[in-house]
Amino acid sequence: MPTEIKQGYNVSALELIMTKLHSGGKFGQGAYKVSGGLHGVGLSVVNALSTFFNVGVKRGNTYRIQQYKDSVPVSVVKDVTQEEFKKAFPKEFKYLEKEESGSIFHFLASKDYLDTIKLNAGYLINRFKEYAYLTSKLKFIIRDETNPFNLSNPTTTFYFEGGIKTFTEALNKNKKGLNSPFYVNEEKDNIVVETAVQYNDSYSENVLCFANNIKNAQGGPHLTGFRSALTKSLNDYAKEKNLFKNGDDSFSGDDVREGLTAVVSVKLENQKLQFEGQTKGKLGNAEVRPAVETVVKKALDTYLLENPRDAESIISKNLLAARARKAAKAARETVLRKGALEISSLPGKLADCQEKDPALCELFVVEGDSAGGPAKQGRDRKTQAILPLFGKVLNTERARLDKIIKSDKFKILITAIGAGIGEQFNLEKLRYHKIIIMADADIDGAHIMTLYLTFLFRHMTELVEKGHVYVAQPPLYKAVWGKEKKYLIDEEEKERFLIANKEKNISIQRFKGLGEMNSDELWETTMDPAVRRLKQITIEDASQADAVFTMLMGEEVMPRKKFIMANAEKADLDI
């Protein structure tokens, strides 16, 4: 960082950056060609929301520091010796000691402005890991010292020679890759297009998009251009090699996306970068689409011709997907025929609610009639619908859509939810804005819940993304003393309660399942909006969620076995 006096301001450039909005390097001429930030406010905003902020800058043999308290500088930027600098930043100095230049930032977020100052270490580690993939040969060293019980304070280091090519292989870690990764990195119309592609043996798509290293969860023109190039290239190759048979004449976009893992990264000049929305979830530069489409199409055409075995594996996957799509369409037309979502055609097992506004309606997906009975009796009939489904459902991680649609249990659930499935999915037709999975608080219940979540994550992803999916948390125990009672969610809460109330004569009852509760108990513990505990299912990191579902529910046994062995001590087994 520059530390000299800034002409026209009579203060150090460092202090200007720390205290004045829109004064970062990206507003100068040529300081940044590519940057993820748009406004140049990052450091000044963090400083404004911190109780203290200490900055250290090394440039050659010169060391300078400045300290801030409640965003106000304690002193001017001052020169210090190497020893004084080391004393100010004892843990970080070793990382700068052998470098020509660099900066160190120490800050503590202020409780006066923020709801919590606790860092989400997992989130930060995942972001740094992505940055390391996106910029090959850049090293990140992360050391988490926030946990006082973690005496070893392990250091995590990320460094990847292969960049996004390695990233794509990592995303397929627990899946069987069908081809050696396709990779291209070219510049077109002053836009750098970098893409890596590898198919796997699963039925889901996992494409991550980035613009100037900022993740765009909602995609944008770069995603559109990539998908168009992929579909055109694979169709051209299959037609040229006469690979379409049995009435097939082309692949749809869905056909070529089954089992697809890809990373699409573009880099634009900072002053031209545009996003839709403040969260930067969607890229807004329309000129990116033709650049990505041209670069990827040309490179992928060459890749398919030069790698015939890989091409054969990919096309075979696409052909199977196309046939499954046709089978799924036929099954869907039978199951979700015209009028199937009308009230008169709702499944007989469904005890619907009276309210017609989806925003006010809840659907409880309940394990079996033994729990469905009390749930129907205890519910608020105006807003709460109950759908009892028996036993364990199909593991949709290992099944195509045509098989899923033919499953009786999913047929009932799809119809009840009302939004359709696959290419007919339409969130506007959703009949309930809360889909609540209510299973027993034991191992079997957890397994059933995971099976439903797998289905919703893979085939109704938008429900999860928009925050419509919840898990009910029924209590495992009921504590009774005298005329008093208290419901306890799990073993840990029970132990805390018993320790805190050891002078009382407390009787503990363990519920074996939801069906063991009467309707009043089920209402006051699990269904009453005033007191119940619901967990909203979110996708904070889609690639991590994909990896977890693949590991837990996929074909590969060893990753699951290793996970179980590593976490066995944490499991609360209901034996």
Please tell me whether residue 32 adopts helix, strand or coil conformation: coil
Catalytic residue among 444, 465, 541, 555: 444
Mean predicted confidence (pLDDT) in 2-23? 87
Residue 574 known to be catalytic: no
Show Cβ contacts of residue 571 under 8 Å, excluding neighbours closer than 6 positions: none
Asked if residues 400 and 255 have their Cβ atoms less than 8 Å apart, the reply is no
Is the four-CA dihedral 497, 499, 502, 508 of positive or negative sign? positive
Q: Which of 102, 96, 65 is nearest to 80 (CA)?
A: 65
* pLDDT(78) > 70: yes
Encode pLDDT of 251-283 as tens digits: 999 999 999 999 999 999 877 889 887 778 899
CB-count exposure of residue 220 (10 Å: 0-12, 13-18, 19+): buried
Locate tokens 């009302």: which residue? 418
Mean predicted confidence (pLDDT) in 196-215? 93
* Structure tokens belonging to residue 90: 């004892």
Catalytic residue among 258, 293, 440, 546: 440
* pLDDT(432) > 70: yes
Mean predicted confidence (pLDDT) in 520-527? 92
Asked if residues 296 and 195 have their Cβ atoms less than 8 Å apart, the reply is yes
CB atoms within 10 A of CB 317: 22
Q: Report the Cα–Cα distance between both ends of the chain, in Å, rounded.
A: 60
Based on its alpha-carbon atoms, the radius of gyration of the chain, rounded to whole angstroms, reads 28
* Structure tokens belonging to residue 323: 């046939």
Please tell me whether residue 494 adopts helix, strand or coil conformation: helix
Catalytic residue among 255, 442, 521, 546: 442
Q: What is the pLDDT of residue 484?
A: 92
Q: How many residues are recorded in the chain?
A: 575
Encode pLDDT of 462-512 as tens digits: 999 899 999 999 998 999 999 999 999 888 899 999 999 988 899 999 887
Residue spans of beta strands (DSSP E) within 150-271? 155-158, 182-188, 191-199, 206-211, 214-215, 260-267
CB-count exposure of residue 2 (10 Å: 0-12, 13-18, 19+): middle
Q: What is the pLDDT of residue 569?
A: 64
Q: What is the pLDDT of residue 498?
A: 93
The percentage of residues in the chain with a pLDDT greater than 90, rounded to a whole number, is 55
Please tell me whether residue 45 adopts helix, strand or coil conformation: helix
Locate tokens 């400045």: which residue? 66
Which of the pair, 152 or 411, is modelled with greater confidence?
411
Encode pLDDT of 23-45 as tens digits: 765 445 455 566 665 556 889 99
Mean predicted confidence (pLDDT) in 294-313? 97
For the ranges 106-115, 137-146, 406-415, the maximum mean pLDDT occurs at: 106-115
Locate tokens 């300078």: which residue? 64
Collect contacts of 38-46 with beta carbons under 8 A, ≥24 apart: 38/270, 38/273, 38/275, 43/17, 43/18, 43/105, 44/17, 44/18, 44/19, 44/20, 45/21, 46/107
Task: Give exposure, 122-155, as e/b (b: 16+ Cβ within 10 Å).
Answer: eeeeeebbbebbbebeeeeeeeeeeeeeeeeeee
CA 334/CA 414 separation, integer angstroms: 13
Q: What is the pLDDT of residue 343?
A: 38
Which of the pair, 393 or 193, is modelled with greater confidence?
193
* pLDDT(334) > 70: no
Residue 444 known to be catalytic: yes
pLDDT band at 572 (very low <50, low <70, confident <90, very high): low
What are the backbone dihedrals phi and psi of residue 434, each rounded to the nearest 5 degrees, phi first?
A: -125, 115
pLDDT band at 335 (very low <50, low <70, confident <90, very high): low
pLDDT band at 153 (very low <50, low <70, confident <90, very high): low
pLDDT band at 344 (very low <50, low <70, confident <90, very high): very low
Q: Which of 321, 300, 307, 345 is nearest to 248 (CA)?
A: 321
* pLDDT(333) > 70: no
* pLDDT(187) > 50: yes
Q: What is the pLDDT of residue 113?
A: 92
User: How many CA atoms are closer than 13 Å to the CA of 572, on its beta-carbon side?
Assistant: 9
Q: What is the pLDDT of residue 332?
A: 60
Q: What is the pLDDT of residue 1?
A: 85
CA 501 to chain centre: 41
Mean predicted confidence (pLDDT) in 294-305? 98
Q: What is the dihedral of CA 199, 315, 331, 554, to 10 degrees?
A: -30
Please tell me whether residue 541 adopts helix, strand or coil conformation: coil
Which of the pair, 142 or 85, is modelled with greater confidence?
85
Q: Which 8-state DSSP code applies to residue 181?
A: P
Q: What is the pLDDT of residue 34?
A: 66
Instruction: Look at strands 282-283 and 275-276 and give their pairing.
Output: antiparallel
* pLDDT(247) > 70: no
Which of the pair, 271 or 74, is modelled with greater confidence?
74
Asked if residues 278 and 194 have their Cβ atoms less than 8 Å apart, the reply is no
Asked if residues 37 and 54 have their Cβ atoms less than 8 Å apart, the reply is no
Locate tokens 């659930």: which residue? 413
Residue type present at position 477: Y
Q: Which 8-state DSSP code applies to residue 30?
A: S
Q: Which 8-state DSSP code applies to residue 258?
A: T
Mean predicted confidence (pLDDT) in 110-137? 89
CA 185/CA 188 separation, integer angstroms: 10
H/E element, 277: none
Residue 440 known to be catalytic: yes
H/E element, 403: helix 401-406
pLDDT band at 442 (very low <50, low <70, confident <90, very high): confident
What are the backbone dihedrals phi and psi of residue 387, each rounded to the nearest 5 degrees, phi first?
A: -125, 100
Q: What is the pLDDT of residue 27?
A: 46
Residue 189 known to be catalytic: no
Q: What is the pLDDT of residue 236?
A: 97
Encode pLDDT of 358-375 as tens digits: 999 999 999 877 788 899
CA 14/CA 323 separation, integer angstroms: 62
pLDDT band at 413 (very low <50, low <70, confident <90, very high): very high
Residue type present at position 398: R
CA 152/CA 154 separation, integer angstroms: 6
Which of the pair, 407 or 185, is modelled with greater confidence?
185
Locate tokens 């007191």: which residue? 531
Catalytic residue among 293, 352, 362, 367: 367
CA 331/CA 403 separation, integer angstroms: 9
Does pTM surpass 0.85?
Answer: no
CB atoms within 10 A of CB 435: 26
pLDDT band at 154 (very low <50, low <70, confident <90, very high): confident
Asked if residues 51 and 108 have their Cβ atoms less than 8 Å apart, the reply is yes
